[in-house]
Amino acid sequence: MSRGTVEQSGWSVRVKALLSLGLLAGVGAVSTLAAWTGTATATSDITAATVFIAAGADPNATSASYTIPIATANWFPGMSQAAMVTVKNTGTSNVSYNVQGAAPGAFGTAMAVGVSVGGTLVNGSATGGTCSVASAYTKAGGSNFPTSAPHPLGNLSAGGWATFCVSTLLPLGSGSILQGQSTAITLTFTASTVP
């Protein structure tokens, strides 16, 4: 063999060796590139419901308090009066709701109070006003409202309303000791979300 051939074959061996190293380096680089990653995200924006009921004269009620339009003075035994109250669900959730009454003091205890679901007024004047349907929640004259638990009224859908006829009576035979006394008849409607 001539010297040129040997050098060439040595050169050829070195080139092959370098090419082999390059191949190994290339395989290492490819395995590193195989570790690419990707991500995906799922989100949801949520808002809590609101529970709010209003009381008023009609389905446009927006206030949490309402003064029942019943005579506030000059009551005497045998006098009765009635008025309508609308309760509206102004929240965003369907609710179940109830009512609890209070009438403090001797005059409040003496009064008879009835809450009818629906109905209309029958002679709503200061002397003789009543409701057209029987009371669902009552307080007899000479006693207090039941305090063991609020009276359930059912469900009320969001935006829905219900009407109630509230009747009041100072029974015949109420004692003279009540003269000049006063009370505040309060009906508290409470709502809770329906799952």
Query: What pLDDT is attached to residue 56?
Result: 93
The pLDDT tens digits of the residues spanning 111-147 come to 999 999 999 999 866 577 899 999 999 999 999 998 8
Predicted confidence at residue 95, as pLDDT, reads: 94
Beta-carbon contacts of residue 110 (< 8 Å; ≥ 6 apart): 141, 142, 170, 171, 174, 175, 178
Cα–Cα distance for residue pair 88/98, rounded to 1 Å: 13
Report which secondary-structure segment, H or E, holds 109. helix 105-110
Query: Could you tell me the pTM of the whole model?
Result: 0.75
Of 86, 107, 118, which is closest to residue 168 (Cα–Cα)?
Answer: 107
Going by C-beta distance under 8 Å and a sequence separation of 6 or more, which residues neighbour residue 90? 52, 53, 54, 61, 62, 159
pLDDT band at 13 (very low <50, low <70, confident <90, very high): very low
* DSSP summary character for residue 145: P
CB 135, CB 91: distance < 8 Å: no
